[in-house]
Amino acid sequence: MDSKWEQATALLAQHGQEQLLQFYPQLSAASQAKLVDTILNLDFNKINNMLNNRPTAADHMEALDSIHAWDWDEFDVLEQEQFTQKGWELLRKGKVGALVVAGGQGSRLGHEGPKGTYDIGLPSHKSLFQLQAERLINLSKRAGTAIPWYVMTSPDNHRETVHFFNNHDFFGYAQEDCFFFEQGVMPALDESGKILMAAEDEISLAPSGNGDCFAALKRSGALDDLKRRGVEWLFYYNVDNALIKVADPVFIGVASHFNNPVATKVIEKVEPEEKVGVVCLKNGHPAVVEYNELPESIMYDRDDQGKLKYRLANLSIQLFRTDFIEKHAQTEIPYHVAHKKIPYVNSEGALTAPDKPNAYKFERHHFDFFPLADNLTVLLMKRDAEFAPVKNKEGVDSPFTARKMLFELHRSWLLAAGVPPERLATREIEVSPLVSYAGEGLDPLGVNF
C-alpha cells in the first residue's frame, strides 16, 4: 500500500473498528501521524482473542484445594541459619535481581504523581522508592555486589518516574544498576466491542496489568540484562508495600533450597472476608484465587487444626527463576475483564463521562503464571514484619496504618537490641534502612534520640 493511512484504513475495515479514524480529516498532520501509528501498533488478533475468550463465571468454579506452606517459625534455629546463609551466598555471587511493579499513580491517596514517589508521612519524609532503594543499598554493601533493580512503569508515569530518580540522584543507588521499562497497554472496548477514543487523536489505552511483566522484560531488553549479569532469581514486588524486604536473603535461601520455578511469601488472613487473594491449588495446580472469586461456600472452611483452609494471603512477593521467565516470556496467559466507567469521545467529538460502567478494561495478572510451574514454594511469614500496603487515603491500608506498622516494627527491633522500654515510650521510632535492613546491627549504646 502507498501510505500508512491506507494500511490503517484497511486494517480497521478488516476488524470493524473504522470509528478510530472518524476525526482524521480535521486533525493536524502531527496528530494524524500519531493516531495512524497507534492504530498500526495495535495487535488486533490479540484483541479479538481477548474478546472471544473472556473468562466466564464457570471458569471460577474449578476444583480448589489448599496448598502446603512452609512456616518460617517452625524451622529450627539451625535450619533458619542455613537458609539465611544460602540467601546471602546467592546475593554475594550476584545471582539475584529485584523487580518493582510501579506503574500506578497515587491518585487514590490524593497524591499527584507515581505511587512510588509518595511520602507516607515518616519523620524522614522518604518516599516509597527511597525506602526501597536504601534497603537494596544496605544489602548490596553487605553482599559486596550490586543488586540490579528493574523498575516496571506504565506509559502514564514512566517519564515522571525516571525524572524523580534523576532528581534524587537515584537515592544513592548506582544508575547503571537501575533499569526502567514500560508495561504494555491494551485498548478499552465498549459493550459492543468497539475501541474507545480518549481524544479525537488518541485511542483509549490502559496498562495491561502486571501479568505483562515477563513479556515487558523481554521486549525491553531487561531479560537480556538479567542473563548477561548471571541473575538466577528475580525478586518481584509491588511498590506500595511500605515494609517490603526487597531481595530478602531469608526468602531467597528458602526458594533456592526447594528450587521450584516460583516461590511466594504469604501471611495468614485476619478473617475469612479479608479482601486479599489466596494461594491455593486450582485443578491440582498452584494458583491465586482473588477474594471476589473465592466461593462463599468454602470461604469459611476450616482444617483439622481449626484454621481457615484458605488462609494463605497473596502478598505479591515472589521469586521467579530466570529460566522460568525466559521460557514463558511470550506465553499467553488469560486476560481478566473489568467493567468500568471509562470516559470517551463520542461521535460528535465531545468528551463524555459515563455515570455507570460502560466499557471493559483488560489486564493480566502475574500470578496466572503460577499454574505453569511444576510446583510452588510457599513461605508463611508474620504480617507485622512483611506487609503494610498503602492503597487508601484513610482507613484500612492507608498511610496511617503503614506508618503505625513501621513504627511498631522498628520499636520491636530496638527492644530486641536491648534499648530500655522507657526510652521508647510514646516515641515514633524510624530506623533508616541504611542502618538496619531487618533489625540487625543496632547497638543500644549508640542509639540517640
CATH of the domain at 356: 3.90.550.10
List average pLDDT for each run of 10 residues in the chain, which is 449 residues long.
Answer: 83 93 94 93 83 57 89 98 98 98 93 97 98 98 98 95 98 97 92 92 90 96 98 98 98 98 97 94 95 91 92 98 97 87 91 92 93 96 96 96 97 94 90 96 71
What pLDDT score was predicted for residue 61? 53
In whole angstroms, what is the distance from residue 74 CA to residue 66 CA? 19
Query: Is residue 8 assigned to a domain?
Result: no
Q: Provide Rg for the chain, Cα atoms.
A: 24
Query: Is residue 151 assigned to a domain?
Result: yes
- 174's CB contacts (< 8 A; 6+ apart) are 146
User: Tens digit of pLDDT for each residue in 92-106?
Assistant: 999 999 999 999 999
| Backbone φ and ψ of 404, nearest 5° | -60, -45
In whole angstroms, what is the distance from residue 407 CA to residue 423 CA? 14
Query: Is residue 63 assigned to a domain?
Result: yes
Query: Is residue 7 assigned to a domain?
Result: no
In whole angstroms, what is the distance from residue 122 CA to residue 314 CA? 26
What pLDDT score was predicted for residue 54? 58
408 and 402 Cβ atoms separated by less than 8 Å:
no
Q: How many domains does the chain have?
A: 1
Query: Is residue 4 assigned to a domain?
Result: no
What pLDDT score was predicted for residue 339? 87
Tell me which residue range forms the domain holding 205. 15-422+429-440
Query: Is residue 70 assigned to a domain?
Result: yes
Query: Is residue 176 assigned to a domain?
Result: yes
Query: Is residue 270 assigned to a domain?
Result: yes
Element counts in the chain: helices (H) and strands (E): 13, 20
Q: Is 32 helix (H, G, I), strand (E, B) or coil?
A: helix
